[in-house]
Amino acid sequence: MTFEPLKGIKILDLTAVVVGPVATWRLGQYGAEIIKVENPSGDLMRGLGGLSPTGQHSGAYLHLNRGKRNICLDLKKQGGREICQKLVEWSDVIVANMRPDALERLGLDAQTIRTKYPEKIYCLITGYGTDGPYSGLPTYDSVLQGASGIAGLTMARDGKPVYVPMLICDHVVGEITAGAVMAALMQRHKTGQGASLEIPMFETMAAFVLQEHLAQQSFEPSVGPAGDLRLLSPHNKPVKTKDGYISFTINTDVQVKAFLKITDRTELLNDERFLTVATRAKFVSEWFEIRGAALENKTTDEWLEIFRKVDLPAMPCHTLETLTNDPHLKAVGLINFENHPTEGKTAVIRSTIQVDGEYPSAYSSAAPCGWDTKEILHDLGYSDAEMESLINENATFQFKTEQ
């Protein structure tokens, strides 16, 4: 089926690497038409995201840039800048994650564009808000994991900071950005007015962490230390079984009683420390030590059967190798394969959002750099001769399959 509430919305994608492509990919999932601009060397994520048959389409790049038309422009050249200005005129929404000073030099900043086109929505993703002392500093996901306190969470738990081994800041901020753009589109639909949005990654992720971990310091005066003490418990982790690990969580009083029974800890059923949510919160360290004790007398599958008989939430703790073979993911068809113009068969991760009981159709493969250049220039009104002139002066180029 098709689910395209943003059909007809045109988005100029001036983003690269992960955070911006996540945002525009999500908007594309809802039917927006996206033109992605890449410089002659291509999006860094084409190679940085891992190995690929040609070295130009890492798995991460493919998954984050599906459904986007692609044009290659050298914005250092007058012809490239002129094309980009025509794309600005074409678009409803401009999404950028370049540094603000670079955008200003190119005339692609919010003030310049919205002075000329007040009806447009301009969305800038920055590392740090433009009002603070960090404004303009370069950043990457791991830098922000440290700055926002994410790495510090494991220091509070284990005594040393550790990065989450995925680009969690980029993905979270990208999805939040897509939501902000859709809210601005709704406002424009109601009022006719555009908007200038700025999504600072540092502040956004700091707020993301503090919503849970400001915790006891959410009050004045504070009622205890910062941090959700349950989540920071060293015993809050997958539990060892006879042949692997199991992940489970038990929170309600009914669940706790069921857990104590199935794990043969009935002597704790009347222990006043663990009778209610409130008392377990006071003795959280002791409770999580009990909850996190190994279950090595049975296999993971045996424990899963027992947990499910008493309706306790539990799942196997997958590895990267076993996740793609999960029977549920296979049954719902999360991953399929299609032919890519240069990479052969490539994985397609379908939409996870059901609409009227169905999943929206998948969108086209992430294109090689410059794949749609001539088509886009034609749509912008350039003649064949003008296109060739721009290509000859290296302001842009059209991908050729023999390259």
Looking at domain 10-208+332-397, what is its CATH homologous superfamily? Answer: Crotonobetainyl-coa:carnitine coa-transferase; domain 1 (3.40.50.10540)
At residue 359, the pLDDT reads 86
Low-confidence ranges of the chain (pLDDT < 70): 1, 401-403
Range 383-394 burial, b when 16+ CB lie within 10 A, else e: eeeebeebbeee
Tell me the two tokens of residue 391. 């290509």
C-alpha–C-alpha distance, residues 68 and 367, integer Å: 7
At residue 317, the pLDDT reads 98
At residue 321, the pLDDT reads 94
Q: What are the beta bridge partners of residue 336?
A: 348
Tell me the two tokens of residue 289. 């030590």
At residue 313, the pLDDT reads 98
Cα dist from 106 to 77, 84, 376, 391, whole Å: 10, 10, 21, 20
Cα dist from 127 to 13, 256, 366, 386, whole Å: 17, 43, 26, 38
Angle at Cα 176 formed by Cα 99 and Cα 349, nearest 5°? 100
Q: Which fold has domain 239-316?
A: formyl-coa transferase, domain 3 (3.30.1540)
At residue 365, the pLDDT reads 84
Look up the pTM and report it. 0.95
Range 76-99 burial, b when 16+ CB lie within 10 A, else e: ebebbbebbebbbeebbbbbbbbb
At residue 362, the pLDDT reads 72
pLDDT in tens, 342-352: 999 999 999 99
The residues spanned by each domain of the chain are 10-208+332-397, 239-316
At residue 60, the pLDDT reads 96
